[in-house]
Amino acid sequence: MLKITIHNEGQAPSFVVEGKLVGQWVNELERCWESVLASEPSWAMVVNVAEVTFIDSEGKELLTRMRRQGARLVSAGCLMNAIVAEIEAEVKKEEQSWVYRP
């Protein structure tokens, strides 16, 4: 089961994702994400994945794409903390490689 909760209060929309972020449901989350992003472009969007119980490589790739687009990932628990830490490290590394060095 996958549950997506979209909050659109305050300045930035936020997503709460619960359950299994695997297989075909990854595309559904991406579709929702793109749809909200299209109507409310925001760099400060929060994606709470604290209640994700299982995630596959496609799910991780989607979270990485979201992070690259400026989303802030909120996690809890060993599994999701580790996944989000990996994503943060990967994105940080990419950002550092973009720094202009004359």
- For helices 77-97 and 57-68, the axis angle rounded to 10 degrees is 50
- Segment contacting other proteins by CB under 8 A, of 25-33, 43-51, 56-64, 68-76: 25-33
Comparing CB distances to other proteins, the nearer of 33 and 64 is: 33
- Segment contacting other proteins by CB under 8 A, of 26-34, 55-63, 69-77, 88-96: 26-34
How far is the CA of 39 from the CAs of 32, 42, 64, in angstroms? 11, 9, 21
| Closest by Cα among 48, 50, 52, 46 to 1 | 52
85 is written with which tokens?
């830490």
Give, as ranges, the residues between 33 and 92 that touch other proteins (CB under 8 A).
35-36, 38-40
Q: Which residues make up the interface to other proteins (CB under 8 A)?
A: 1-9, 24-25, 27-28, 31-32, 35-36, 38-40
